[in-house]
Amino acid sequence: MSFSPPPQPSDPWIRRFRPRPEADVRLVCFPHAGGSASYFHPLAQSPTLLPDTEVLAVQYPGRQDRRRERLLDSVPETADRIAEALAPFGDRPLAFFGHSMGAVLAFEVAQRLREGAIGEPRALFVSGRRAPSLHRRGTVHLLDDADLVGELRRAGGTDPRFLDDEELLAEIIPVVRNDYRAVELYRWTPTSPLSCPLTALVGDRDPQAPLDDVEAWRQHTEGPFDLKVFSGGHFYLNTHQRGVADVISKTLADRAQRPATARGNAR
């Protein structure tokens, strides 16, 4: 059996940690506020992830190799751009995994793709985030720099060494503030539910994502819904990479065994 050469992204939005041209499905990962594509490198290397799964990660503007680019402070605009960037990868089924702000973006991109040639993702995994239909007023983006750094320390997703380095902080704070502004000002526009399987993952001590709020993701799909609770806080997945990869692999394996539907990659 022969395989076509792996597609190359037409812009800098997509990172490929381990190209797998023979992959059956591509898992697209969406980082949290202030996060970068490299956050998902450990997941891409997980031994419990199915070998026929290729991990792609989204790189938002304003960080790492894109640090000189204009920041985007709108979830809808960012989702539009990501949906465009994924077009070259639509030759294989896609699955989405998003953490925190990334969960909202993954959901919004899935909404955009379902009406086009790519279609819905094979599965949607949303982590550490309440359902988009539940709006909660957020003010983190309005905090002064010192309080914003304190929020980052409490959340636990940023290396403390970065927060103690004044030069790095000068680069981090504008990006984090921008991302919080985007997700805190986001408002869900009611649409019909997706049809793909939706799995919500959360830490049992996550102050940003109470279990009842995470359970509400159920209403956003007509397909199977599952809720997976891990021990830990907002960044529970830092210590549960294998468990998260196992959930992803089992869901995708189960989905691959089901008959294809008429809606593109939602199969």
CA 94/CA 88 separation, integer angstroms = 12
CA 25/CA 29 separation, integer angstroms = 13
CA 72/CA 69 separation, integer angstroms = 9
CA 52/CA 71 separation, integer angstroms = 34
189 and 109 in contact (C-beta within 8 Å)? no
Which of 99, 141, 220, 234 is flagged as catalytic? 234
Catalytic status, residue 234 = yes
Enter the DSSP assignment of 9: -
Catalytic status, residue 100 = yes
Which of 100, 220, 240, 249 is flagged as catalytic? 100
What H or E segment, with its residue span, contains residue 93?
none
What H or E segment, with its residue span, contains residue 191?
none
3-state SS assignment for residue 66? helix
In DSSP terms, 198 is beta-bridged to 124, 225
Between CA 15 and CA 23, with CA 19 as vertex, the angle to 5 degrees is 115
Question: Would you please indicate which residues are annotated as catalytic (active-site) residues?
Answer: 100, 234
